[in-house]
């Protein structure tokens, strides 16, 4: 049987349709939500009222907030976290680690800090077989920063748990159709919430339901992408800023007929992670618009090259095969990611995501690369 012909087993596809729902909830998702005491009687998921005007969205969190990265408090050895695990598996040389034998909901404060540092070093960390409710997921997210509450109905949340975004591609496809040629959604290289004044730090995605075949997610390392650049080329982008835009458009209150207007912020092309002190390339094809101070042709040429460095070097990427009840925690400050839609919506996929906002991006010219800091840099790296 070909993957496209795989049936949906009855234990996966629920036969009960919640009130006001557009799709039947996958059975594993329903069981998890009901176990957590989530009220589904008024419909699932909860959708906020869509803000219409650009200036209203600009006002959301448009102020500087103090932020201390939990990884800066951690023991570099990370003994409390790593010694408690049954196994620690590095999935590639540059990015991706899987921790076996720990439940995220049971981590001590010390272990949470050490996990933040591990994520800062390895970019994305995976935990399988997790028994975690949306409420517990949000509580963990609050440890890592202010939990982002999304204003868009395209990013709906778990009822009663604001900031816990529902990731349900089948539902999203009923509103924005997807197909093999136009997959849409998260099936493109991107970084979350780059338009924020203080963009995303750690994101925690827990998938309770996944396709039997396909639906992998890929991440690429911003540390390694920066290190792929020649030292001379790095001097061209170090300290430069670019315009980063929102995923969703809005209307101009002064000129509503002007067409889609995006939220835009200026951030550095190269940023430094506060916990590791390492430089990382911070661009993504979906939301980085232009480099400040360059003509459009110059900016497009350089950005196109930077996107390619990130996306085409498979040795700085990890591709993760999900299993039910798996959590992935990644750092948006040092990665881009891409969700494969090769299963084409033929099997259910459902999860919840919590994103913690971090510091205002900054650049430090004296900061080292990861390879320099770890003593891995060769003569061509410096």
- Residues 294-343: pLDDT tens digits? 999 999 999 999 999 999 999 999 999 999 999 999 999 999 999 988 88
Q: What integer is the mean pLDDT of 257-276?
A: 93
Predicted structure pTM score: 0.91
Q: What integer is the mean pLDDT of 99-110?
A: 98
Catalytic hit among 69, 113, 192, 331? 192
Nearest of 273, 165, 313, 291 to residue 236 by alpha carbon: 291
Q: How confident is the model at residue 50 (pLDDT cuts 50, 70, 90)?
A: confident
**β pairing state of 97-100 and 124-127:** parallel
Number of C-beta neighbours around residue 100 at 10 A? 13
Q: What is the side-by-side order of every strand in the sheet holding 261-268? A: 261-268, 241-250, 288-291
Ordered DSSP codes for 31-85: HHHHHTT---TT-SSB-PPPP-BHHHHHTTT-S------GGGGS-TT-HHHHTTS
Q: How confident is the model at residue 293 (pLDDT cuts 50, 70, 90)?
A: very high
> Which range, 24-28, 154-158, 349-353, is most confident?
349-353
Q: What integer is the mean pLDDT of 133-154?
A: 91
337 neighbors 219 (Cβ within 8 angstroms): yes
Least confident range from 33-47, 163-177, 356-370: namely: 163-177
- Report the CATH superfamily, name and number, of domain 29-373: Clavaminate synthase-like (3.60.130.10)
The beta strand positions in 113-236, using DSSP E, are: 124-127, 146-147, 157-158, 161-167, 200-209, 217-221
pLDDT exceeds cutoff 60 at 128: yes
Ordered DSSP codes for 291-356: ETTS-HHHHHHHHHHHHHHHHH-GGGEEEE---TTEEEEEETTSEEEEE--TTTTSS--EEEEEEE
DSSP state of 359: P
At residue 178, the pLDDT reads 63
Q: Is 26 left (phi over 0), alpha (psi -120 to 50) or beta?
A: beta
* Residue 208 a catalytic site member: no
Catalytic hit among 337, 349, 350, 370? 337
Catalytic hit among 190, 245, 267, 350? 190
Tell me which of 11 and 360 has the higher pLDDT.
360
Distances in Å between the alpha carbon of 135 and those of 38, 114, 164, 378? 9, 22, 8, 46
How many Cα atoms within 13 Å fall on the side-chain side of residue 309? 23
Residues 6+ apart with CB under 8 A from 2: none
223 neighbors 122 (Cβ within 8 angstroms): no
Peptide bond into 45 cis (omega under 30): yes
> Which range, 8-12, 13-17, 247-251, 320-324, is most confident?
320-324
* Residue 190 a catalytic site member: yes
Tell me which of 163 and 176 has the higher pLDDT.
163
Q: How confident is the model at residue 23 (pLDDT cuts 50, 70, 90)?
A: low
Computed over every residue of the chain, the mean pLDDT equals: 89
How is the chain split into domains, by residue range?
29-373
Catalytic hit among 30, 248, 353, 370? 353
Q: What integer is the mean pLDDT of 69-80?
A: 97
pLDDT, tens digit, 9 for 90 and up, residues 170-216: 776 666 666 655 656 566 788 989 999 999 999 999 999 999 999 99
* Residue 206 a catalytic site member: no
Number of C-beta neighbours around residue 19 at 10 A? 9
């Amino acid at each position: 049987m070909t993957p496209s012909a795989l049936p949906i087993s009855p234990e996966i596809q629920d036969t009960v349709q919640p009130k006001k729902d557009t799709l039947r909830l996958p059975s594993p998702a329903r069981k998890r939500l009901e176990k957590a005491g989530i009220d589904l009687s008024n419909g699932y998921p909860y959708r906020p009222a869509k803000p219409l005007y650009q200036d209203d969205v600009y006002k959301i969190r448009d102020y500087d907030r103090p932020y201390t990265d939990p990884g800066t408090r951690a023991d570099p050895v990370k003994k409390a976290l790593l010694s408690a695990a049954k196994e620690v598996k590095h999935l590639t040389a540059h990015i991706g680690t899987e921790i076996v034998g720990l439940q995220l909901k049971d981590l001590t404060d010390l272990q949470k800090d050490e996990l933040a540092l591990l994520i800062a070093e390895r970019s994305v960390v995976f935990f399988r077989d997790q028994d975690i409710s949306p409420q517990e997921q949000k509580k963990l997210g609050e440890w890592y920063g202010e939990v982002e509450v999304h204003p868009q109905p395209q990013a709906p949340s778990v009822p009663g748990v604001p900031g816990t975004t529902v990731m349900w591609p089948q539902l999203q496809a009923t509103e924005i159709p997807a197909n093999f040629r136009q997959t849409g959604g998260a099936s493109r290289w991107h970084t979350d919430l780059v338009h924020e004044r203080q963009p995303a730090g750690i994101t925690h995605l827990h998938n309770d339901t996944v396709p039997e075949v396909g639906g992998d997610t890929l991440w690429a390392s911003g540390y390694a992408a920066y290190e792929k650049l020649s030292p001379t080329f790095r001097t061209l982008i170090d300290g430069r800023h670019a315009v980063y835009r929102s995923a969703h458009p809005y209307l101009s209150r002064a000129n509503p007929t002007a067409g889609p207007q995006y939220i835009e912020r200026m951030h550095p092309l190269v940023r430094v992670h506060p916990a590791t002190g390492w430089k990382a390339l911070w661009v993504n094809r979906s939301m980085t618009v232009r480099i400040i101070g360059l003509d459009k042709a110059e900016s497009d040429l350089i950005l196109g090259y930077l996107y390619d460095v990130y996306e085409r070097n498979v040795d700085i990427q990890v591709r993760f095969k999900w299993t039910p009840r798996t959590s992935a925690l990644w750092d948006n400050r040092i990665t881009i990611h891409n969700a494969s839609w090769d299963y084409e919506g033929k099997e259910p996929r459902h999860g919840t995501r919590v994103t913690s906002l971090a510091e205002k991006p900054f650049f430090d010219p004296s900061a080292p690369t990861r390879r320099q800091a770890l003593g891995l840099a060769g003569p061509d790296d410096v």
